[in-house]
Chains A and B, each alone.
Chain A
Amino acid sequence: MSDAAQPMKSAGMIRRWLSRPARAAPAKPVQFDQPLLPWLFLAPQLAVIFVFFYWPSVQAITSSFYIEDPFGFGATFVGLDNYKDALGSAEYQRIAGFTALFTVLVTGFSLGLGLLFAVKADKVIRGRTAYRTALIAVYAIAPPVAGLMGMMLFDQHIGPFVQLAAWFGYDMKVGINYWDTAFAMILVSVWKQVPYNFIFFLSGLQGIPASVREASVIDCRNGFTRFRTAILPLLAPTAFFLLIINITYALFDTFAVIDVMVKDKPANNPLTLVYKVYNDGFRGNDIGGSAAQSVILMVIVLVLTLIQFRWLERRVHYG
């Protein structure tokens, strides 16, 4: 969990909150009855939220309907033109396509590896703590640092990956060749996210009662079938939660990885949508267009959240 994955963090709470009856019971049966004190406690949080969340969000939505003069001389209302321009442009569509591919690959691989390591780490007894420590340490590394390390590993002169590719007769050019860069980005992004998934899967596995494991051992001989039929369904809530977090991670948190790896030369390199928002807004000075793209991303996040609540949840076993 870093950067933008945070907002989705409380999905479980929201889910439960939504599933409560219309008349929400108070958090505690007994509460303090003071009309003003709670406002005092809430005031700092509310102030920060209003100034730094609601105000900018409303501005984003408003300016997505305007074209701003690049020299700051007023703005013209253009309705949905910014959205049409964004969605209609070939560049946007290409980037959206890459973002989708990137998201699927990063999510798939980091979930898969996280689960694999967690299952194995849950099994072994010897060296358990050492493995756990080694596998979670990378969680703390910032995406730009990960990006920098990725750059080095894929460096044209000193990068071992480039040398490895050359040994197979392939001339790898990260930062120049589109798909080479994409490969490096995906690898670094997966590397950075595996620990997060590992932590949650491991804690999910350790939350499965010993009695259930023992019952499954009695009922099922084959280890893999046992895992698939008895353990995996119990991990479903964790996996489901992580799926959404990972999608958000791939969409937003990887910004720094990409920014570092494309070395300020986005021209020929693979980008994701959030990078384009930033690029158009700050580099291109296309404030309206950038805002429209922001709003589109907001909608994607909202839809993801709704999907999480409504659709996927039904296929998950809650015990």
Chain B
Amino acid sequence: MASITITDVSKTYPGAPAPSVTGINLSIRDGEFIVLVGPSGCGKSTLLRMVAGLEDISGGEVRIGDRVVNRLDPADRDIAMVFQNYALYPHMTVRENMAYGLKNRRTPKAEIETRVAEAARMLELGPYLDRKPRALSGGQRQRVAMGRAVVRQPSAFLFDEPLSNLDAKLRVTMRGEIRRLQKRLGTTALYVTHDQLEAMTLADRLVVLNGGRIEQVGAPLDIYHRPASTFVASFIGSPAMNLLDAGLEGARLRLGTSVIELGHLPAARGAVTLGIRAEDLTPAATGLPFRPDFIEELGAQRLVHGHIEGQPVVLALDPAVPVGSEMRLSVAAARLHLFDTTSGRRIATAARPGLAVTETA
């Protein structure tokens, strides 16, 4: 078990004009569950593979525990990895798959057997130990892949989109299993996914990546409630945060013909992007004018798609709340997010209790 420290790491593929990953700084505590999340091509897998030793590190330094591992072979880094397609050796039985890495390390036979038996018990793989992977279901193969990682008792687990090949229901179950297993073993974990829900539910801390850089690092709820940029705001959370073009006039926010009183002076002026979570908008007698277009029923809640001042907005409502052809919406001032329109960065606001006062001309 160990911490992982990533300092100024970058990756440039030979012949590529720009680096794929750049300026990554991240320190992971021992036993922490870190999820790297971002859209495809954001560099999350590259970063993980550099930690694993499957990609050369172009610049910077990766430490596992107190060893710099930049030049170490993957086998010498004391890590275990779970792949998206499981990468089980198809010609070996489940038992042989799990034992292979230990055998190569010249672990004594008896020790191998105990560890495999222990992992099999933990993952409920006992009955399948002598089967070949092709005779197993997707979820079982996933477990074998995890078992292969577990028996190694590594300093860190690396997961590369391990649940992407499973169906939705199984994904939820396996998500729980991974979390339980990691907590129980207390092993540091670095987990890559493009699924923000998976990221939110698994992580101790989330690392949101975009275009090869870190956008934001933080606990899932911190990120959800205080996204550092429009990118994070739209990537984390479902439905995505509503982003509206607005203008700052001192303490007043102009949205088309509507005006919102912020009650304080933000450190910006002129055009800004206003972010509001779908669940933070509530129907009221007065407020922002909302024209619903259509409704998506989700059971526990309903999503109402429509427009405020000609800009698309999604509303998450209790199914009991009636939806009219025209509605007025209010929002708590503390739940308003302001972003710089050009850079997309968050603008600091002083939170103030109470509803934002809105008026429509």
Contact = CB atoms under 8 A, between A and B. Distances in A.
Interface in B46-98: 54-55
A23 B54 contact: no
A30 interface: yes
- Chain B interface: which size bin? under 10
A144 B330 CA distance: 91
B-side interface mostly = loop
A29 B45 CA distance: 13
B15 interface: yes
Nearest to A22: B15
Interface in A16-31: 23, 29-30
A29 B54 CA distance: 8
A30 B15 contact: no
A283 B230 CA distance: 83
Contacts of A30: 54-55
A31 to B, nearest CB: 10
Nearest to A21: B15
A17 to B, nearest CB: 18
A-side interface mostly = loop
Contacts of B55: 29-30
A30 B14 CA distance: 14
Nearest to B73: A33
Interface string A27-66: 0011000000000000000000000000000000000000
A37 to B, nearest CB: 15
Contacts of B54: 29-30
Contacts of A29: 54-55
Nearest to A30: B54
B160 to A, nearest CB: 12
A182 to B, nearest CB: 53
Contacts of B15: 23
Interface string B276-307: 00000000000000000000000000000000
Interface in B11-30: 14-15
Contacts of B14: 23
B211 to A, nearest CB: 21
Nearest to A23: B15
Nearest to B56: A33
A30 B53 CA distance: 10
A23 B14 CA distance: 10
A287 B21 CA distance: 63
A23 B55 CA distance: 19
B85 to A, nearest CB: 14
A243 B15 CA distance: 38
A23 B54 CA distance: 21
Interface string B244-266: 00000000000000000000000
Interface of B: 14-15, 54-55
3 cross-chain pairs, A with B, having the tightest CB-CB distances, nearest first: A23-B15, A30-B54, A29-B54
6 contacts: A23-B14, A23-B15, A29-B54, A29-B55, A30-B54, A30-B55
